[in-house]
Amino acid sequence: MIVDLHTHTTASDGSLTPAELIQRARGRGVELLAITDHDTLAAYGELASSQTGGMQMVAGLELSCTWNGVTIHILGLGVDLDSEIINQAADSQRLARQSRAQEIGRRLEKKGLSGVYQQVADAADGRAIGRPDFAKAMVELGMVNSVADAFDRYLGNGKIGDVKAMWPTMSEVVTWIVEAGGTAVLAHPTQYKMTNAKLRRFLGEFVDAGGDGLEVCNGRPPEVEIRYLRELCREFDLAASAGSDFHQPNPWCDLGCDSSVIGQCRPVWQRWLSVGGEPSGVSAP
């Protein structure tokens, strides 16, 4: 089975509309899909006009939080789209992103990089803004040669545009997801540059808070990383998830993950596929 439980659309920082993403996913043979935009469930409001065919969907989103000074991303999969808790949480997160974006814009302005925030805000048209949006705008304005160049010089960790948002704690975010009927899954566990001991300490607290999933495959990781994450799933009795973290079409990471990538771990998608009809979280259009 081909699954993808980590994708982004134009509702946050992806390049495809929800309808375009669904069409591409179907073309790639994806059988179970979650759209997990940052801090919003807005993509699901457009699904009524989309044709999913036989592809099943699970409602989701990606929320930022902090743990011991580290910014962590948690996927909320299978959440109730009408949950007041999760919708209020998403609104709060978007406000935090907006304040952060304005501060990034002010810092860049002081550095002599004028007009970047306005370019970003116009392009975003009301959606949440992230550092990749600033990088893209800086390329368009001729201030840098590439997105990578923008991060290396201005937006990466420790640079002038590295503004820490006031994110909630990990336990708060997990509670929101669980109370909204969803499953909290740690996204891209190896990208936080935590030591093995620190990651294990995090996972212990994550489980205690109600977290129940870990992303074993994010894009196309090396086999040694996949084996390590499978081991962590077994050690902490976490369900294994898989997703592309798709933002835009590119040759090195496209939609879809073979479900066999999780090996003998407990699959997070089992809880939705075991339901006789449609998966929980969203109705097929």
How far, in whole angstroms, is CA 78 from its chain's centroid?
A: 14
Q: Cα angle vertex 210, ends 206, 214, to 5°?
A: 55
Is a pLDDT exceeding 50 seen at residue 279? no
Burial letters for 158-173: b for 16+ Cβ neighbours within 10 Å, e otherwise?
A: eeebebebebbebbeb
Q: Which residues pair with 52 in a beta bridge?
A: none
Whats the size of the chain, residue-wise? 285
Q: What local confidence, expressed as pLDDT, does residue 219 receive?
A: 85
pLDDT in tens, 121-138: 888 877 778 888 899 999
pLDDT (tens digit, 9 = 90+) per residue, 208-252? 999 999 999 998 888 999 999 999 999 999 999 999 999 988 777
pLDDT of 285 higher than 70? no
- Decide if 85 contacts 176 (C-beta within 8 A): yes
Is the domain 2-90+166-273 a CATH 3.20.20.140 member?
Answer: yes
Over residues 22-34, mean pLDDT: 93
Q: Which tens digits make up the pLDDT trace of 99-122?
A: 889 999 999 999 999 999 999 988
Q: Rounded CA gap, 115 and 110, in Å?
A: 11
Domain boundaries, the chain: 2-90+166-273, 101-155
pLDDT tens column, 79-95: 999 999 999 999 998 88
Three-class SS state of 66: strand
